[in-house]
């Protein structure tokens, strides 16, 4: 199986996975549905980070290497209080987004001022302030925060299911539990898509700052 090479191919792959998820649910292949949902969740988080310039998916697809945009790194390191971020880890993606959503306008202004004056280096002047304003106008921060808590609980259920699989009795109750986890997964990624990714579809940060 070849990797997708550009955003258009990625879009069709995304749509294909949604159809596969639906088919898996209809046919009772709940493990497959859970596996697909996890991939879709990760894809939606990446899409949001791409829209605001933290990563460039097109480049990642071509190089097969997921990296943060070089000019954005200082901002993310500042917000997350870490310079050791593994973008392959879904929890790290969530951490970045949560820190961005938590950021105040004062935080953004203070850091950009400090970065320009103390570091004496190139800075995307105004990026964090513009990012804050875009989020403020389009996204319900508190609602997304609550949703991430639901997402965390779903991860825990999924992990408990996987790690305890061989110790479970394959009865009707167990099958119902698997079905519920698979069914809840769609609610998770659809919420992210509708209330996080789609809300930033008109974001002009990449264009404005040439990132």
CA distances from 26 to 15, 48, 65, 189 (A): 17, 29, 35, 18
Q: What is the pTM of this model?
A: 0.91
CB 17 within 8 A of CB 166: no
What's the residue count for the chain? 211
What are 89-113's pLDDT values in tens digits? 999 999 999 999 999 999 998 888 8
What are 24-46's pLDDT values in tens digits? 999 999 999 999 999 999 999 99
CA distances from 30 to 36, 86, 150, 164, 171 (A): 10, 29, 20, 16, 15
* Domain-wise residue ranges, the chain: 7-209
């Amino acid at each position: 199986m070849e990797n997708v090479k550009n955003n258009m191919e990625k879009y069709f792959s995304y749509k294909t996975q949604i159809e596969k998820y639906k088919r898996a649910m209809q046919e009772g292949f709940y493990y497959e549905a859970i596996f697909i949902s996890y991939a879709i969740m990760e894809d939606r988080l990446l899409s949001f980070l791409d829209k605001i310039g933290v990563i460039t998916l097109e480049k990642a697809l071509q190089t097969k290497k997921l990296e943060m945009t070089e000019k954005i790194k200082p901002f993310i390191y500042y917000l997350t209080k870490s310079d050791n971020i593994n973008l392959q880890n879904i929890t790290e993606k969530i951490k970045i987004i949560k820190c961005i959503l938590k950021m105040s306008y004062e935080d953004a202004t203070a850091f950009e001022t400090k970065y320009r004056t103390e570091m004496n280096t190139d800075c995307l002047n105004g990026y964090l302030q513009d990012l804050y304003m875009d989020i403020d106008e389009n996204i319900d921060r508190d609602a997304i925060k609550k949703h991430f808590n639901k997402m965390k609980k779903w991860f825990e259920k999924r992990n408990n299911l996987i790690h305890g699989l061989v110790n479970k009795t394959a009865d009707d109750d167990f099958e119902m539990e698997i079905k519920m986890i698979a069914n809840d997964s769609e609610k998770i990624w659809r919420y992210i898509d509708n209330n996080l990714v789609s809300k930033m579809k008109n974001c002009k940060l990449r264009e404005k700052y040439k990132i």
